[in-house]
Structure 1
C-alpha cells in the first residue's frame, strides 16, 4: 500500500517480512525512493516547515559545518529520520494499556554513493539518528525491548536517493560507553584522565594551531565526567561559555581553538561490549540511581 510523504509525491512502498536467526520476531524491510522528496512536513497549525530543523542544526554543530558540504545532494539525513519515525509508528504494538512496544534495531540500506556520504560523517550521524528515534518514541509513549541500534549498510543494487530499512526487535540489556567526537572521529574514554591538545604527548591530538600542546583534560570516573582547562593560552569553552573546571554532562560541547569536542555517553548492546566489558554497567539509564 502506498503511503503519502509530507511535502512530496507518494513513494512506492514494499514490505517483506522474513525470519532471521538470533532475533525476536520478523525483519520488516521497507523501501522508500527519496530522490525527489522534500524534508518538509505539516505543523499542527497547518503550516509547513522542516520537520527536523533541530536535528539538522544539531548535526551541523557536531561536525563543524561538514554536514552542509557533504549533503548538498543525494539522500538527506532529515529524510532518513522522517522514515525512521514512520517505521516506529507503523510497527508499534500495543501489549496492554500501559505498554506499546516498538522495534529497536534499524539497518539502513543505501546506495554506494549515499553510503560514502554517510560514512564521511562517521558515528556522529548514527548517534543523531538514534537520538531522534528515542525522542520520537518518548513523545509517543513507546518503549523498546533493548538498546536502540542504527547502522548503515551499502547495497549496490540500490539507486542513489533510495532507502531500504530493515526493522527488527532485539532483546538485551543496555550498557554505556563514554566517548568524545573530534572532527568526525570517535575516541572512547577510559577511566582516568584524557588530555586533548596539539602536542604529540596528548592522549588525543588535534591539528589546530589555536590550541595549546596540552589544552584541556577530561576526567571520567566510571560514572560521571569533568572537564578542566590545563592553563591553555587561548582558554576553553563549554557550551559557549568560558570554562576552567566544570562537570561534563552528556551532549556537552567543548571548544578549544577552532575545534569542537562533543562528549557523549552512548548505549551499546551488552553482548557487543567486548573490550569495554570491565567498565561499569547500568541497565537503568546513565543518570540512574547511584
Structure 2
C-alpha cells in the first residue's frame, strides 16, 4: 500500500515538473510583448532620467554637461529667487491639498452613502472639471478673482497665495472625491447602521465609523492633491501676483534666459517628494488591507 502511494507521489511530482517545464517555455509573442513594454517604459521615463542626471551638472547652463557635482543643489540654498519660488509652491500645495481633501472627502462620502440619480449628475460635473483644459480654467479664474478682489473689495482674493491655492484645488477636489467614493463603495454600511442603533450621535458615527473607514483614502487623496498642486503651471501663470511666483512659473521665465542646473536640481527634489508621497499612499492602503489591484483602483478613483 505504501509502495503504491510512493509511486503515485513520484509520478505526480514528475508530471508537475514536466508541466512546469512546459510552462517555462515562453513563446516569441510573450518575449516581444515584454520587450515592447520595456521600450514603452524607456520612452516614458527617458526625459525624467535625463533631467535627474543633468541636475548633477556643474556647468553654467543645463544643456551643457561639464562634470559631475552637487553645485546645483548647493545653489538652491544661496539663491533667494529659487527659495521663494519653492516656498510659494510648497505653501500653495499644502493649502490646496487641505481644501481639496476637505471638500472631496465630504463629496465622496455623500456619493457613496446616499446613492441616487443625483450621483451620476454630480460625477458628470466632476468629470467635466477633470477634463476641462487648464487654459480654460485659467482664463475663467483670472477675471473672477479680479471681480471679487477689486470690484467687490474682498481683499483676500488679491493675495497671490489665496489665488494659487483656490486655482490648484479645483482639479484636486475632483480627484479626492473619486478616491474617497471608490473606497467607501466597497465598504459595508452596516457598521454605521449599528452605530446609529446603539444611539450614537450622527457626528460621533461620522467621526468614529465613516471617517475611520475612509481614512486611508482621505490620506491618499491628500497626498495626491499635494503632488498635483505642485505642477499646476497654466493656472498659476494666470492667477499669480507679484511676489508670489510659484516654481513652475519661475521655470517658464527661466527658459528665456537659458535653463541653469539648479532648475533640474529643484525638479529632481520635487520628483523625489512626489515618489515618496505615492509610496506613502501605497503603504497606507496596503496596511489597510487592500490588495495591489485595490490600491491601483483606489488611486485611480475607480
TM-score scaled by length of structure 2? 0.23
TM-score scaled by length of structure 1? 0.23
More strand by share: 1
More helix by share: 2
If asked which structure has higher relative contact order (CA below 8 Å, sep 6+), I would say: 2
